Amino acid sequence: MPARGPVPRRCRRAAASPPVVAGSAAVYAPTVRAVLGLVALLLAVALVLSLSGRDATRALRSVRRAIPGLEDRADPRPFDRAAAAALVARLRRLAEATDPAEAELEDAADTAAGWAAGSAPGSFAYRAAVALRGAALELLDGRDEAHRRRAGQLLDDAGEALAGRTAMPGGAAGAIEDQLRNQQYERDQQVRQVEREAR
């Protein structure tokens, strides 16, 4: 049998590469799309605002129509201030629990998503709903001190929003920031659902 020559470097790299698992692409593809979608949204908002001078809410609405897949899929529900205040208190207790129920946190995130979908961006109701959604997702993402601290900050934001009186907290820039956060939370929940279905 003839002796084989040295294996080309390119072949060695191909042989050393780990196999691609088909399921992993389905799991992580939404994460890549989420990052690209948010980057595109940020760039488009900045461009529209700088060139046209229109108000932020109208600008963001135009951008969201131009970029597919940015709309929130949550079913709108009327904002309930008393229920939102109760959810703030409930999430604070869950943040202190050693092993909070995942199903309860997911339900809290879904409830807050519905409130956000049913509220006008720029309002205190919208800001409170987005902050509550983020707090629930932070607690779902981890039980360590960093996640608890971030969840606590978001719950503080929600509490301040529930006590607010002015029409648009943070002005037009605050309205855009709230909507960007809500879009990120929507992508986080979509990725979580894909990962759960892939198990």
pLDDT in tens, 71-128: 567 899 999 999 999 999 999 999 998 887 899 999 999 999 999 999 988 899 999 9
pLDDT in tens, 145-176: 999 999 999 999 999 999 985 555 566 777 88
pTM, full prediction: 0.67
Q: Residue 42's pLDDT is what?
A: 60
**What does the pLDDT average to over 23-29?**
48
Q: What is the mean pLDDT of the chain?
A: 75
Sign of torsion over alpha carbons 47, 49, 54, 58: positive
SS3 call for 88? helix
Residue 53: DSSP 8-state:
-
Give the integer Cα–Cα distance in Å for 37 and 68. Answer: 9
Q: Residue 57's pLDDT is what?
A: 53
- Ordered by start, the domain boundaries in the chain are 9-198
Give the integer Cα–Cα distance in Å for 199 and 195. Answer: 7
Sign of torsion over alpha carbons 190, 42, 49, 129: positive
Question: What are the distances in angstroms from CA 23 to CA 18, 19, 173, 197?
Answer: 14, 12, 39, 11
Q: Is 195 exposed, middle or buried (0-12, 13-18, 19+ CB in 10 A)?
A: middle
Task: Please count the helices (runs of H) and the strands (runs of E) in the chain.
Answer: 8, 0
Residues 91 and 132 sit within 8 Å (Cβ to Cβ): yes
